[in-house]
Structure 1
C-alpha cells in the first residue's frame, strides 16, 4: 500500500475525563486529541490523603473525606459546565481497604458521579495497560507506586498477567521504615513473596507514579540529561541502585543528591523521596531488572484507552500524536504522507517508516512558523514536547530531520548525547530529501503526483512529465546533488 493511500489518524475525539480517587490525591484530568495519543487539556488535584492513618484505624478520616468530597463536587460541576459526557471515575486502595469506603462511595454517587471501585488486580492491570499503550511492545514488569499501595504486573506484547497489589504505598512506608533498614527489607520481601513476586525477573522494570518520577528528575539532573520530560527516561540497574542508595538515607535537599539536584521536584514529593528510594532499592535487589524505565502513563491512561479497539491500539502513538499536532499547524497529514512517499528513495530501512513519516510531518509543520523561529521551534518541539512512543534517539532524529529541512546539517552537540552518529546521519538524509521536495514542488499535490525521485546505481534523478520540466532549475538540481552526495551516491 502506498503511503498516499493510508488514512491519517488525526480525528480528535470529544473531550474525555478521568477522575482518579487515590489514596494520596484526588485528581481530575480532561483529555482531548486523537484517541491513540490523547493530550491533557486540564489537570488538577487535591491532596486529600485518604489513606493517611488507614493502617492504624482502618478508616478514612473525616477531614480527608471532606476534602475529597469538596474536590469531587467541584469536578462534577466543572464537567457539567463544560458539557463533558464521557467521565470515568475510579477509586483505588484507600477506598478499597477502608471500613467506611462504601459510605464514601455512596456520598460520591450523590454528587452525580458514577465511581467504580477497582480491585487490586484491576488497578494493577489498568496501570499495565497504560504502560503498554505508551511503550508499544513493552516486555517486563510494571511497578505502580501510589499513596496506599504498590501494584506489580508482568507485561509483554501479548498482554499482561500476574497483577498484584501490596500495602506498600508512600503513606505506609514511613511506618515500615521506622523499625530500621533490615526490618523494612524483610517486610517488603514478605509482601513480595506472599504476592508471588519473589525472585529475579531479569526484565525491564517500568516505574509508574509521581514518587518514582521525582527520583527520575533527580537522576536526570545528576546526569545532566538534556531532556526535561521524565517519561521514557531510562537508567541501567546499576545507575538506579547508586541513585537510591544516595537518596534513601538523606533528607530532601541534603547529602549526595544536593539541593540543586532536587530543583523542579514538587515540594509534596520531597518528604516521600527517601521512602520511595528505599522501596526501589529492595525491588532492584529482589527483581533484578535489566534496566529501569520511567512512565508518565499509567492507571488513568489505561482506563482512558480501555475502550479502544485492538487495531486502534496497534497504531504507533508517536505517529498519531504528531499527525494531530501538525494538522493543527496547517500541515495536513495526508499531504505530509505524500511527501514521505515521494522522498522514500532516501528513506533507508523500512522499519523506520513510522518515525520517518512522523519526522516529515514535524519538519513540514515547522515551516509554518515565522522564518526566524523555525529552527528554534523545531528543536523545541522535537526535544521537549511530550511525544508518547518516542525514545530519546527518536527525538534526536526528529530534530535532525527538521534542521536538515531548514538547511542545517551541522547538528548541535546535544543531539549526539541522544543518538548515534549513524542514526543522525540517516535523519539528516530524510531532512535533505524533504528540502529537495519543497524546493522543487512547494509540496503541491499535482507536482508530487506527476514526478518521481529515482534512486539507482547511476545516482539520484528527478523524473517529471514534460509540463513540469520548467520546475527543474539549476537551484533544484543543486539540492538534488546535495542529497545524493549525503547518501554517497553519484552526482550527475
Structure 2
C-alpha cells in the first residue's frame, strides 16, 4: 500500500477550520460553491483559492436516492424529488450564511435519463434558487479528470479513470504527456450502485448473484476495451488505474483497517491488486448485518456497497492493473477548480484593461 502525495487544492475542512462571513473573506478571500446532484447523493463543496488549488470552507453530502425507481419507470418519483429538494434547501441555508462569488450546480445521470428531469430542475430553481444544468457524460468525465489530475504520476503513459456512480459508471481513457493529461476516450455505462441494487436486490448478497452482476458489467465494458485495447497497454506497463467513488474509498478504508472513515488517510492512497481484492472479499463476507455495523459503510449505504464492489470487480477483471489509485474527490472539486480558473482569467483581464 503506497501513499500518493495529496495536493493543496483539496486541503480538507478538518485541517482548515471553517471561518464565516467577514472573517472568511478576510482570511481566505472570495468563496465559490459547487453542487452535484446525482442519482444517489446530493453534495455541495465551498472553497476559496489557495495556490494552484483551493482550501475547503464547507462541505455537505446527503443520500437522497433521487434515481429510486428510475430504472423501471423512466421518471423521478415524488418522494425522491422531495428528498432532493430538502437537501438542496439545506445547502441554500448554508450558503445564505456565507457570501460566494460564484456558484455552479450540476445534475448528472438521473436527470439526464428521467423524462421529467428538466421539469424537476425547474421546480428546484423555484424552491431553492439553484439553477442546475444537466451535464453530458463527456463533461462528467472531464470534471473527474480535472479533480484527479494531481494524483496521476508523471512517469506513466496512460491512465484509466473510473467513477462508479448511482446511475452510471463513467470511464475516462487518458494520455499522460508531461504532466498534462489528455482525454482520448470516454464512456458512460448505464449501471451504477442504485440501478444494480434495484435490479438484483437480495440476490447480490449471495455468491451466484454477485458473480452475475460482475459478469453483466464486464460484458458492458468490452466494447470500450475493443476500441482502446487497454488490457494490452496494461500488459505492456505504463498504465495507471484510478478510481473515484464511494465504493473505491470504502475498499481503501477496509484495506487500511480504519476504525472510522478518514478522508485524509484515503485520498491518494495506492492499493495493490491483492489488497483491493482482499478488502472486497472481506466486505462480501460480512453480510448485510456486518455491513450495517462497519464504520466505513453504515446502514444508509448497506444496499449499495456490494453492487459497487461488483462494478469494481468487473473493471479489474477486464483491466487487471497491478495497482489502483484511490481518489476521494470528483465532480464538485472539478467544478470548483474551473470556477476559480475562470475567475482568475476575468480578474486578469480587468487588471489589464485598467492599465
Question: Cα distance 1:175–1:76, how it changes in 2: closer, same or farther (>3 A)?
Answer: closer
**Is the partner of 1:44 in helix, strand or coil?**
strand
Counterpart pick for 1:121 among 138, 151, 174: 138
Counterpart pick for 1:207 among 243, 252, 260: 243
1:170 correspondence with 2:193:
yes
Q: Deviations over 1:314-360 (max 9, x none)?
A: xxxxxxxxxxxxxxxxxxxxxxxxxxxxxxxxxxxxxxxxxxxxxxx
Counterpart pick for 1:142 among 151, 161, 164: 161
Could you tell me whether the CA contact under 8 Å between 2:245 and 2:328 is conserved in 1? yes
**Is the partner of 2:43 in helix, strand or coil?**
strand
Unmatched tracts of structure 2, length 5 or more:
1-8, 10-26, 345-355
The equivalences for 1:236-385 within 5 A come to: 236-252=272-288, 254=290, 262-307=294-339
Aligned length: 297
Q: Deviations over 1:129-156 (max 9, x none)?
A: 1111444647411111111111110232
Question: Cα distance 1:258–1:237, how it changes in 2: closer, same or farther (>3 A)?
Answer: farther
Pairwise CA distance, 1:213: 0.9
Question: How many Å separate the matches in 1 of 2:165 and 2:54?
Answer: 23
Pairwise CA distance, 1:94: 0.5
Counterpart pick for 1:60 among 69, 72, 76: 76
Pairwise CA distance, 1:158: 3.5
Could you tell me whether the CA contact under 8 Å between 2:32 and 2:47 is conserved in 1? yes
Pairwise CA distance, 1:269: 3.0
Counterpart pick for 1:109 among 97, 102, 125: 125
Question: How many Å separate the matches in 2 of 1:72 and 1:227?
Answer: 23
Question: Cα distance 1:108–1:222, how it changes in 2: closer, same or farther (>3 A)?
Answer: closer
The structure with more strand, counted as a fraction of residues: 2
Pairwise CA distance, 1:86: 0.8
Q: Deviations over 1:368-401 (max 9, x none)?
A: xxxxxxxxxxxxxxxxxxxxxxxxxxxxxxxxxx
Could you tell me whether the CA contact under 8 Å between 2:40 and 2:64 is conserved in 1? yes
Q: Which residue of 1 aligns with 2:50?
A: 34
Could you tell me whether the CA contact under 8 Å between 2:197 and 2:303 is conserved in 1? no
Pairwise CA distance, 1:193: 2.5
Unmatched tracts of structure 1, length 5 or more:
1-8, 313-492
**Is the partner of 1:42 in helix, strand or coil?**
strand
Q: Deviations over 1:87-114 (max 9, x none)?
A: 1100011111111101012112323322
| TM norm structure 2 | 0.74
| TM norm structure 1 | 0.55
Q: Which residue of 2 aligns with 1:457?
A: none
Please give the root-mean-square deviation of Cα atoms over the aligned residues, in Å: 3.1
Moved beyond 6 Å, runs of 4+ = none
Q: Which residue of 1 aligns with 2:92?
A: 76
Counterpart pick for 2:113 among 97, 113, 119: 97
Could you tell me whether the CA contact under 8 Å between 2:292 and 2:298 is conserved in 1? no
Could you tell me whether the CA contact under 8 Å between 2:218 and 2:317 is conserved in 1? no
Could you tell me whether the CA contact under 8 Å between 1:245 and 1:277 is conserved in 2? no
Question: How many Å separate the matches in 1 of 2:167 and 2:325?
Answer: 22
Pairwise CA distance, 1:205: 1.4
Structure number with greater Rg is: 1
Counterpart pick for 2:184 among 161, 165, 185: 161
Could you tell me whether the CA contact under 8 Å between 1:19 and 1:27 is conserved in 2? yes
**Is the partner of 2:283 in helix, strand or coil?**
helix
Question: Cα distance 1:237–1:208, how it changes in 2: closer, same or farther (>3 A)?
Answer: same
Of 92-101 and 120-129, deviating more is 120-129
Higher relative contact order (CA 8 A, sep 6+): 2
**Is the partner of 1:293 in helix, strand or coil?**
strand
